Structure 1
Amino acid sequence: MKKTKVLLASLVGSIIEWYDFYLYGTATGLVFSSLFFPNHDPAVSILIAFATFGAGYAARPIGSIIFGHMGDRIGRKASLMLTLIGMGGSSFLIGLLPTYAQIGLVAPALLVLLRLIQGIALGGEWGGAVLLATESANKGIRGFFGSVPQLGVPLGLVLGTFSFTLISSLTTEAQFMAWGWRIPFLFSIVLIVVAVWIRSGIEETPEFQRKKEQGDLAKIPVVHVFKHNSKDIFRLIGLKLGDGFFNVFLMSFILVYSTTYLDYSRDTALLALTLSCATMIITIPLIGYLSDFIGRKIIYTSGLVAMIALAIPYFMAIPISNTLFFTMQILLLGVVWGSIFATQGTLFSELFPANVRYTGLSLGYQIAAAIVGFGPMIWTAMGTNVGASPFAFGGFMIAGLVLSLILILFAPDTRVITQYEDSEEDGSVVGQSETQPEKVLS
């Protein structure tokens, strides 16, 4: 029951964080571009709106340093409580914001400020949620435990897109743009109360507790991790860039791409996104469980190869029909990317020792996220110049994926070479690896 509660605590916060974060992504192309960044040229409005979307990604490394320091010095639990409040509170306030028509330039300025707070909070949430699960796992099931908080992404996005779809179906276009879009943001406050209540009842992770009792905590984690684990920081960044760009497209920009360049309806685009995310709810725990038997590296490598092979066919197929749009979206996002993402939390966390794991895991991941977060601005410019070109968009994705593929081929198999100190049921420390010492990853 204790471990089940830990998994629930890691999952529920992750759901809410990603619900809030992707709620903004969905609203960017559908609402914010016209209500907060009006311009006579719709393409300019979308470009500016996605610049604020990217600003949230750019703020995430700041959050990783702030909350990583807290998580490595004070504890994972304390850090995660604050990320929830920062994320949920900013989303709730977005739902109350007056528009550009009501208060002028102050409206987009406030929106950008709240988006930055969102990004900072999310910069600390993801890594902490992963560690809450993986550092509480017994040896041999870490891959499955690490996949559970990853479920927050599809569950949060399904919840967010479903709320938009539901409100859209119950209101006219005028009503939706006037007040309907606010309801999903305001609902965040209910979710945050539930998550804080659940997380307040859990204990600190065993591995952090051991480090704290041993007095083996880094004084300044961000300095320590760059001094001793800089190679793994850069390795993590490169590993995340390839699938990260494609992920941002598949889970956010696809709404603009399909409605602006391919003339799909908003409801059709939202349905395709929702179906693919629903598929991930099945894919992620299954692959996480499988990774404990065949290893994270094999799955990660296979996923990248599949994404490279499907990149151009994806962009060629989705303009043809709704059926192909749904099929390719489900296959690429729900199955292939879902498989890669299922392993990332565990794989990346196994690169770092416990005393700087929160900082190292969060910082590397969020620097990559900050880079890929500006993908929509690039794609908006590409779409304006070349339209929905399969080779332009597919080629862009392949370039990043090849970089990640090269890096994973030279990465260690962290299922057997790990920085974790595995604890058995009796609490004894087994060691970092039965086959390799810590130095192979430093």
Structure 2
Amino acid sequence: MKKSRVLFASLAGSVIEWYDFYLYGTATGLVFTTLFFPNHDPAISLLLAFVTFGAGYAARPIGSILFGHMGDRIGRKAALMFTLIGMGGSSMLIGVLPTYAQVGLAAPAILVVLRLIQGISLGGEWGGAILLATESAPKGVRGLYGSIPQLGVPIGLVAGSFSLTLISSLTTDAQFLSWGWRIPFLLSGVLIGLAIWVRSGIEETPEFKAQKDSGDLAKVPIIETLKHDWRSVLQVIGLKIGDGFFNVFIMSYVLVFTTLYFGYSQDSALTGLTIGCATMLITIPVIGYISDFIDRKIIYFGGLTLLFVLAIPYFTMIGRGVGWFYMMQAVVLGVIWGAIFSTQGTLFSELFPAKVRYTGLSVGYQVAAAIAGFGPLIWTAMAESYGPSPLVFGGFMMAGLAISLALCILSPHFSRRKEKDQTLKPHKLDLN
């Protein structure tokens, strides 16, 4: 089986899953506050809408257990096929969902259920995509391979945001709120179909096949994980929590923050986000490749340190004009967070043995993501009380990053713990 097809399969599915997930996030501020959570107080409408946004994050640990079990017992490929079906089906149903004006409270209730399905599906997608790439990687380029599925986040986010922006520009305000916003959600059905077709043509990863052939499969992966590898799960949660809050802000809440509190136009906010994501497209594979030569822990620690140092300056500068906003998005999101995220999947996966790797990797990561996913609720309340204060918002981010930095300092030197025979010399990249 060609390595290039495996990488494409891990990336294609990841892009589409994140397209659907972030499409919802963009639609939250643009559409759902009006059509599904109408209220005379805009702040309350926004708060209610972000509750459903956070619900998707809260559901991700459920998906990590469900699909982790499937991935560690049946196979990585099987689990990834079901995550696509769950995400695609729920997104298409959102596209045909009646509004509050049409069916009353049933509309937001069904929307929450569909958002939960999205979260459950994504909870199993991320870990599976990482393992599909890293467990199929030749020795010496595991970091590069593990970085490729991470490209799905910036590509999916930009695609989701751009699709709504494009439809908005081609329709009147009335048309967009009536039917235009539904088109990107319905389009996800076609994209999911293509991703399923791509993934159906790949084989199981060599590491899982070897594990299955040995007969040493975990009977109940989540139980074995919590029994034998609970320290690694807690380590992943702690290492992720710091950059997790920053990530949710600079890739989602920033659209609301800059338009509502700094008066930037929606186009300016989306441009800043796009600049950061475009920079990540370069940072992620480059740093992924470098991490095969330099200890991934060093890169990770360096990225967290820079985020800590720049937390207050970031919130100070983004309010001083769109030029500063664009520059900070490029540096903080595109370069620094992109470097952290590039190494994250490979770094975390190396903490777990193959028999519970899907479960351990997914549970740790998604629990941290679930906690960070409720950041918008906290920040909305903070902004109502303190405004867009750099000290308040920057201090909040620094608190989370301090936890991750402490764990990073105290953690063992584990960047190649599972791949001791990997040489540090450059390898020819073989995609055949």
TM-score range, shorter chain: over 0.9
The corresponding residue for 1:59 is 59
The corresponding residue for 1:395 is 395
Structure 1 residue 422, shift from structure 2 partner: 7.5
The corresponding residue for 1:184 is 184
Structure 1 residue 321, shift from structure 2 partner: 0.9
Specify whether residues 373 and 17 from structure 1 end up closer, same or farther in structure 2 by C-alpha distance, changes over 3 A only. Answer: same
8 Å contact from structure 1 (residues 9, 199) kept in 2:
yes
Structure 1 residue 180, shift from structure 2 partner: 1.5
Please give the secondary structure, in 2, of the residue aligned with 1:294. Answer: coil
Give the fraction of aligned pairs with identical amino acids, expressed as a percent. Answer: 69
Matching of residue 267 in structure 1 with residue 280 in structure 2: no
Please give the secondary structure, in 2, of the residue aligned with 1:187. Answer: helix
Matched length: 423
Matching of residue 94 in structure 1 with residue 94 in structure 2: yes
Residues 194-234 of structure 1, C-alpha deviations (whole Å, 9 max, x = no match): 10000000000000000100001111100001111110000
Structure 1 segments of 4 or more deviating over 6 A? 419-423
1:42-441 matched pairs, under 5 angstroms: 42-418=42-418
Structure 1 residue 176, shift from structure 2 partner: 1.8
The corresponding residue for 2:426 is none
Amino acid in structure 1 at the alignment position of 2:160: G
Residues 78-132 of structure 1, C-alpha deviations (whole Å, 9 max, x = no match): 0000000100111111111111111110100110000000000000000000000
Structure 1 residue 175, shift from structure 2 partner: 2.0
8 Å contact from structure 2 (residues 311, 394) kept in 1:
yes
In structure 1, how many angstroms separate the alpha carbons of the residues matched to 2:299 and 2:45? 40
8 Å contact from structure 1 (residues 351, 419) kept in 2:
no
8 Å contact from structure 2 (residues 150, 284) kept in 1:
yes
Structure 1 residue 411, shift from structure 2 partner: 2.1
In structure 2, how many angstroms separate the alpha carbons of the residues matched to 1:309 and 1:175? 45
Show structure 1 runs of 5+ residues with no match. Answer: 424-442
In structure 2, how many angstroms separate the alpha carbons of the residues matched to 1:334 and 1:365? 21
In structure 1, how many angstroms separate the alpha carbons of the residues matched to 2:13 and 2:420? 24
Please give the secondary structure, in 2, of the residue aligned with 1:292. Answer: coil
Structure 1 residue 286, shift from structure 2 partner: 0.3
- Scaled by the length of structure 1, the TM-score of the pair is 0.94
Amino acid in structure 2 at the alignment position of 1:103: V
- Scaled by the length of structure 2, the TM-score of the pair is 0.96
- Computed over aligned residues only, the root mean square deviation of the Cα atoms, in angstroms, reads 1.3
Structure 1 residue 420, shift from structure 2 partner: 8.4
In structure 1, how many angstroms separate the alpha carbons of the residues matched to 2:309 and 2:180? 40
8 Å contact from structure 2 (residues 140, 422) kept in 1:
no
8 Å contact from structure 1 (residues 354, 420) kept in 2:
no
The corresponding residue for 1:437 is none
Amino acid in structure 1 at the alignment position of 2:90: S
In structure 2, how many angstroms separate the alpha carbons of the residues matched to 1:343 and 1:407? 16
In structure 1, how many angstroms separate the alpha carbons of the residues matched to 2:140 and 2:150? 18
